[in-house]
Amino acid sequence: MTKGIILEKTGGPEVLVMRDISVGAPGPGQAKVRHTAIGLNYIDVYHRTGLYPLALPSSIGLEAAGVVEALGEGVTDLKLGQRVAYAGGPPGAYVEERLIPADRLVPLPDSISDQQAASVMLQGMTTQYLLNQTYKVAKGETILFHAAAGGVGLLACQWAKALGATVIGTVGSAAKAELARAHGADRLYEGRFRRPGQGDHQGRGRSGGL
């Protein structure tokens, strides 16, 4: 038996309960991973509240790093004891051990810690598709990025600057403006911002030189 945080009903943080769980042997194409670091993301809150429904009972969490403990039939590109990380479905990372499709696992080099891997993969993939797939940002372009001091925002500021873009960001406080600026934002707007049709924004410009 191992331990896991299980969601048996939706609601506030109090619905997350620790339970003994049984993790069987991996099936074909699966690996058993013992977690050493687990990423926390806002989508976990959506699963907990039921905004994004899950079949209950279920664990939550989409991102973690750990060590391969067992391999199922047909898995040839991983080895026992190997450090790996993953991000994305299926949910269930809030546990000590789990089974997961082996093709979701990314081997970790020695230069990346388990904590780093478990905290950056989901945000990094989000940044990648925003800057490379949703719209391919090119050198000399200017982009506007909301929540520039968030996890994705800080990665996006650095990534877009590396691509040669000018980065305009929105933030909620002066402290967040300084953080985003330190990560590459050229110009920042501080205040409360709404989508079109939701009323005027209340913000003020902050140039990158201030």
Which of 102, 79, 87, 77 is CA-nearest to residue 27?
Answer: 102
Which of 63, 45, 44, 155 is CA-nearest to residue 117?
Answer: 63
* pLDDT single digits (tens) 8-34: 999 999 999 999 999 999 999 999 999
CB atoms within 10 A of CB 46: 14
Q: Confidence band (pLDDT; 50, 70, 90) for 89?
A: confident
Helix (H/G/I), strand (E/B), else coil: 103 = helix
In sequence order, the β-bridge partners of residue 17 are 6
CA distances in angstroms from 118 to 44, 107, 194, 195, listed in the order given: 14, 12, 31, 32
pTM > 0.95: no
Extended beta strands in 25-165, E state:
30-38, 58-59, 63-71, 83-87, 97-101, 106-107, 142-145
Can you tell me the mean pLDDT for 161-169? 97
Q: Confidence band (pLDDT; 50, 70, 90) for 204?
A: very low
Q: Is 61 a residue whose pLDDT tops 70?
A: yes
Phi and psi at 124, nearest 5°, equal -65, -40
CA distances in angstroms from 51 to 6, 8, 10, 43, listed in the order given: 17, 15, 9, 9
Query: Rg of the chain over CA atoms, in angstroms?
Result: 20
In sequence order, the β-bridge partners of residue 39 are none
Are the beta carbons of 178 and 154 closer than 8 angstroms? no
| Count of alpha carbons within 13 angstroms of residue 98, beta-carbon side | 32
Which pLDDT does position 193 carry in this prediction? 61
**Alpha carbon distance 86, 65 (integer Å):** 7
